[in-house]
């Protein structure tokens, strides 16, 4: 039985994973010193063992620091192998230089996790080119089949899959294949300012169709809501949203809750959400992770 050590980033997913993967929670204490620095103390012998560490690196930044310190503490105490389970990999949107003078944070974070001592990564629906920055073995899971299974159960008639921009085409195609839908709609957008999104073109005909908009993550909610509004204005009927990650620390949760053009938002539990609105439905990823832990 493998040991599982976790940060404070997702306690509910921790409980589910322990049950489904047959893991035992390691004995350790994770807290803060008076000056708020992270304090960690292992409470059992780990030398020579193979362990798992669960932690997302989403905001606030302390989650990433907890993950790095936990991995490194296990490494310097003689752990043989460390599988880092990172349901949501923060900073992945910064996977290339958008403008001169901007960082490539996804590469930096991948290097930090490797340097800390992780020997393998299990993660879910990475954004863009992030996977290529890892030099250690990585199991890159996709949330699309799980989300598609949920949509199947809704038995929506006259359903079409759409993606909010060209970058999401591969995800939309994967989702559509799972639903045995041949064609997808693609929206093209422009950014009048860094904070604004404007849909300029829809490839395909959404008239009288029920739509499921597919994406890897929602942070502010602006892109997905603008896409839903454009589809509705072009004749679409009921609009659903299916995304792997909803980063609930920003304004997205309230925007989605009040968006009249969106009937339902289907997400995973990669990021914990408090006070879940009725419009949002969660698909559990713990079983998916458990199936790949011992491969």
Positions marked catalytic: 189
3-state per-residue secondary structure call for 139-182: EEECCHHHHHHHHHHHCCCCEEEEECCHHHHHHHHHHHHHHCCC
Q: What are phi and psi of 215, to 5 degrees?
A: -155, 170
Q: What residues are paired with 81 via a beta bridge?
A: 50
Q: Distance (Å, rounded) from C-alpha 249 to C-alpha 55?
A: 16
Q: In the numeric block, which tokens belong to residue 80? A: 């043989």
Give the CA count within 13 Å in the CB-facing half-sphere of 189. 27
């Amino acid at each position: 039985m493998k040991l599982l050590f976790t940060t404070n980033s997702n306690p509910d997913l921790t409980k589910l994973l322990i049950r489904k993967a047959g893991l035992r929670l390691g004995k350790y204490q994770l807290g803060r010193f008076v000056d708020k620095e992270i304090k960690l103390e292992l409470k059992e012998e780990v030398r020579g063992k193979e362990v798992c560490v669960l932690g997302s690196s989403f905001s606030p930044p302390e989650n990433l620091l907890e993950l790095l310190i936990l991995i490194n503490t296990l490494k310097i105490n003689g752990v043989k192998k460390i599988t880092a389970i990172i349901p949501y990999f923060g900073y992945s949107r910064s996977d290339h230089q958008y403008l001169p003078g901007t960082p490539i944070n996804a590469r930096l974070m991948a290097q930090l996790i490797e340097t800390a001592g992780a020997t393998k990564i299990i993660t879910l629906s990475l954004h863009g080119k992030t996977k290529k920055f890892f030099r250690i073995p990585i199991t890159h899971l996709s949330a699309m089949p799980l989300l598609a299974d949920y949509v199947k159960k809704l038995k929506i008639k006259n359903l079409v899959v759409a993606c909010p921009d060209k970058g999401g085409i591969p995800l939309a195609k994967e989702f559509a294949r799972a639903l045995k839908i041949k064609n997808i709609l693609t929206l093209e957008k422009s950014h009048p300012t860094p904070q604004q999104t404007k849909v300029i073109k829809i490839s395909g005909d959404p008239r009288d169709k029920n739509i499921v908009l597919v994406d890897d993550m929602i942070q502010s909610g602006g892109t997905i809501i603008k896409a839903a509004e454009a589809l509705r204005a072009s004749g679409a009927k009921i609009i659903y949203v299916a995304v792997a990650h909803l980063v609930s620390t920003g304004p997205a949760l309230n925007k989605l809750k009040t968006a009249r053009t969106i009937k339902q938002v289907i997400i995973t539990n990669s990021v914990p959400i408090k006070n879940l609105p009725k419009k949002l439905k969660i698909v559990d990823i713990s079983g998916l992770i458990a199936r790949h832990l011992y491969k």
